[in-house]
Amino acid sequence: MNASPIIQARSLAKTYLIGNVRVAALEDVSLSVDEGRFVAVTGASGSGKSTLLNLLGGLDTPSAGTIEVAGALVSAMDRDALAKYRRFGAGMIFQSFNLVPSRTALENVELPLVFSDVDKKERRRRAAELLDRVGLAHRAGHRPPELSGGEQQRVAVARALVNDPRLLLADEPTGNLDSQTSREIVGLLAELNRSRRLTVVMVSHEESLVREYAQEVVRLRDGRVVGTESWA
Amino acid sequence: MKFTDAVEFSLASLRKRRLRTLLTVSGVMIGIGALVSMISFGKGMQKNVTEAFKASDLFTTLMVMPGGPDVPLRDPDRPGRTVSSGGRRDAVLDDAAVAEIARIPGVRLAYPDVNFPAMVSLGEKEEFRLVQVVPAAIAASGALKLGWGKSYASDDEEGVVVSQSLLRRLGKGEPAAAVGQNLRITSVSIDLGKLAAIDLASLFSGQGFPVAMENYDFPIVGVTEITAFGGGPSPVQNEVLIPPGPARRIKRLPMTSIWDLFRMRDGRLGYSTVSIKLESLRDLERVKSRVGDMGYTTFALADQFEQVTKGFYFMDMVLAAVGMIAIIVAALGIVNTMVMSILERFREIGIMKAVGAGDGDIKRIFFFESGAIGLLGGAAGCVLGWAVSLVINRVVNFYMARQGMPHIEYFAFPFWIFLGAMGFSLLVSLVSGIYPARRAARVDPVVALRHD
């Protein structure tokens, strides 16, 4: 490999306090992802996949260990720096799409730019461009309830990329989609990975999609890494 | 996040929940409306009284009383109305003193304040009144508001001025018709004939009192209007005024009340009060000290007006406090609405944070939302307060007109009331937004986005 790692996670741990019981979601997880790779994270439900992705995306903070993304120590950031990191450093998409239902597809894509103080005209232009890129230019004025699952996820992808991050984190992006649409979405991620040299980390338990589109896989069980495999 | 975006986000959210926004804004509207009408009422009363004082020339009036212990100013049943003694006990207000006071520079006119009790009648009906002797110069000044006829032209003219309310009591509803009619004044005086043959035993048992009554008839030359805000120790506050010339003919007791006798020195009674009309308000302090040096006590209405102003200040505070109760209820309504809004938009907040909204952005959105409620409610409250005041004013004046009272604007709306109400409403809503905004900013995106 000629690329340097964009993600360096060392000895990550995350424990939650549920009532009086400490529950370890992640224990001693170390991970390195090179720039421009498409990495899948698999494991049974409750294995800590989503927790890991939330930590990488700056939505949550680790109980122990460090995370470095593109040279910045994410695990040491304060709330404001984390917000900025989520805005510019890493785009995220989710199983349940997480679009704002009252806003149109275009306005949803614009949302991260609103918090980046980009003026309205420029926002519109960039959002329209990305909607076109994911093939949804004709649905720009529709609100999420009027869109199919696949269309909603495409809007979410456009939104995740509107601030041009180098990293895209996808948390079970196909969990709510039929198999045909799932292929289309993961295919879109793979295509973006190739054309933009976008690093993609995707949580999934659909082995066939992982095999077909990803380049390596990290397997989790009970909050620990139990194996890694690379084939491309 | 830009200011305009925050405004847009806030308004979009308020539009989405129309009914609740309307209800919350109504709460603020009622609170601000109550406050606006309360304060405008206070200001209206203050304005009316101040203008009445100014119109009646009372500011340039100074009252002089003999020295000595505190004596009831007019009415012994109201012991609060006393003037503190400052002067000498032996300073009697006689004609010489009045002449001396009149010579002080800055004094336009000095005249004894002479009252005597009398029964006045017009045809069948009769009433007890204090008749006041007032020089023509004073009666013709702004102190009297004549509605019909005119004041007597000289101190020796045979004529009296009566008030509209007295005419009403005497059964004359139409003041214009009363002008020219004769008013009968019946006075009480000591019967010297009886005094010679006095029988002490019957005197002290209340029989054979050495008094006589005499009737005097004077044509009514003018009728004063009822003013809403008279009162106070005015130089002309009685309902029957008579010039000094004819007053001298009337046989009467040399005192108004029995209290006057306690002020007697060596058999000299003097006047109980002398009124001074000043050239201008600037002369007040100088004349006051000159008269004080002569051993008399002075009383200036201008001084008391400061007390009145303080009283209005207090009244404003009480009215504002009542209005504040409504504001507090409205503020709680805003907090409630905003907290509900957070619960409903829990996921949306999570989404915004996930795509990079900072705590400050979220705070700003919610802060602007409550601020918008405040501004809308404030504007609506100004309109409501104004409208309600208008209605109250009309209704009250309708009933007052039936009582023969003149039309009065009970409410005053200086420009600052509306500006202040809007500003205050905005302030209250922003304060109400602090807690919800902080709570919204603390929302954990992981919890908010957990798919359920």
Q: Which of A83, A94, A102 sits opposite B357 (nearest CB)?
A: A83
What is the average per-residue pLDDT within A157-169?
Answer: 95
Residue B168, in any domain of the structure: yes
Question: Who contacts B5 (Cβ-Cβ below 8 Å, separation ≥6)?
Answer: A114
Q: Are strands B182-190 and B160-163 parallel, antiparallel or unpaired?
A: unpaired
How many domains does one find in chain B?
A: 2
Instruction: Determine, for residues B449 and A84 on separate chains, whether the beta-carbon distance falls below 8 Å.
Output: no
> Is residue B235 located within the same domain as residue B319?
no
Contact: B358, A79; criterion CB under 8 Å: yes
Taking the C-alpha atoms of residue B73 and residue B209, their distance in angstroms, rounded to an integer, is 27
Superfamily of domain A36-59+77-230: P-loop containing nucleotide triphosphate hydrolases (3.40.50.300)
Residue B91 lies in a domain: no
Note down the domain range covering B324. 3-53+308-449
Model pLDDT, residue B451: 55
Please state the separation of Cα B172 from the chain's center in Å: 29
- Provide the residue count of chain B: 452
User: Given CB atoms, is B344 within the 8 Å cutoff of chain A?
Assistant: no
What's the CA gap between A48 and A225, in Å, rounded? 10
Q: What is the DSSP string of A193-210?
A: HHHS--EEEEE---HHHH
Query: How close B307 gets to chain A, by Cα (Å)?
Result: 57
Residue B300: closest CA among B318, B279, B278, B322: B278
Of B333, B323, B343, B417, residue with least CA distance to B370:
B333
Hey, is the C-beta of A164 within 8 angstroms of any chain B C-beta?
no
Question: Do B441 and B366 belong together in one domain?
Answer: yes
B98 lies in a domain?
A: no
Between CA A107 and CA B308 the distance in angstroms is 62
Q: In this structure, what token pair is assigned to residue B109?
A: 């006119």
At A2, the pLDDT band (50, 70, 90 cuts) reads low
Nearest CA to A4 among A166, A160, A164, A161? A166
B252 and B344 inside one domain: no
CA trace torsion B334, B336, B337, B343 (10° rounding) = 140
How many CB pairs lie under 8 A apart between chains A and B? Answer: 69
How many angstroms away from the CA of B45 is the closest CA of chain A?
52
Residue A30 forms contact with B (CB below 8 Å): no
Determine how many CB atoms are found less than 10 A away from the CB of residue B198.
12
Please name the residues between 417 and 446 in chain B that touch chain A, using a CB distance below 8 Å. 445-446
B165 and B252 in one domain? yes
Q: Is B409 on the interface with A (CB under 8 A)?
A: no
Question: What average pLDDT does the segment A181-187 reach?
Answer: 95
Q: Considering only alpha carbons, which residue of chain B is nearest residue A87?
A: B356
Q: What residues in A contact B352, CB-CB < 8 Å? A: 100, 111, 115
Q: Which residue of B5, B355, B362, B447 to mutate against A (max A Cβ within 10 Å)? A: B355
In terms of average pLDDT, the best of A74-78, A228-232, B151-155 is: A74-78
Residue finishing a domain among B223, B257, B291 = B257
Pair B251, B166 in one domain: yes
A88 touches chain B (CB under 8 A): yes
Task: Give me the residue from B16, B353, B449 closest to A94, CB to CB.
Answer: B449
**Domain annotation covers residue B370:** yes
Tell me the C-alpha to C-alpha distance, in Å, between residue A202 and each of A193, B108, B195. Answer: 12, 100, 125
Q: Chain A residue closest to B359 (CA)?
A: A80
Here the ipTM equals 0.94
User: Is residue B289 a part of any domain in this protein?
Assistant: no
Handedness of CA B307, B313, B316, B321 (dihedral sign): negative
- The one-letter amino acid code at B370 reads S
3 state SS of B39: helix
Q: Which of B257, B278, B294 is the last residue of a domain?
A: B257
B262 lies in some domain: no
Q: Give the start-to-end residue ranges of the domains of chain A.
A: 36-59+77-230
User: How many angstroms away from the CA of B444 is the closest CA of chain A?
Assistant: 8
Q: Is residue B357 part of a domain?
A: yes
pLDDT tens string for chain B (452 positions)? 889 999 999 999 999 889 999 999 999 999 999 999 988 998 888 888 888 777 666 777 888 887 655 554 444 444 444 444 455 556 778 888 888 888 888 888 888 878 888 888 888 888 888 888 888 877 776 667 778 888 888 888 888 888 888 888 888 778 888 888 888 888 888 776 666 666 666 666 666 677 788 888 888 888 887 665 544 334 556 788 888 888 888 888 766 667 767 766 666 677 878 888 888 878 888 888 888 888 888 888 777 777 888 888 888 888 888 888 889 999 999 999 999 999 999 999 999 999 999 999 999 999 999 999 999 999 999 999 999 999 999 999 999 888 777 788 889 888 899 999 999 999 999 999 999 999 999 999 999 998 55
Does residue B357 sit in the same domain as residue B231? no
Q: How far apart are CA B452 and CA B449, in angstroms?
A: 9
Whether B111 is in a domain gets the answer no
Question: In terms of domains, do B324 and B218 share one?
Answer: no
CB atoms within 10 A of CB A32: 16
Q: Decide: pTM greater than 0.90.
A: no
What angle do helix axes B415-441 and B359-402 make, rounded to 10 degrees? 150
Using a CB–CB cutoff of 8 Å, tell me whether A86 touches chain B: yes
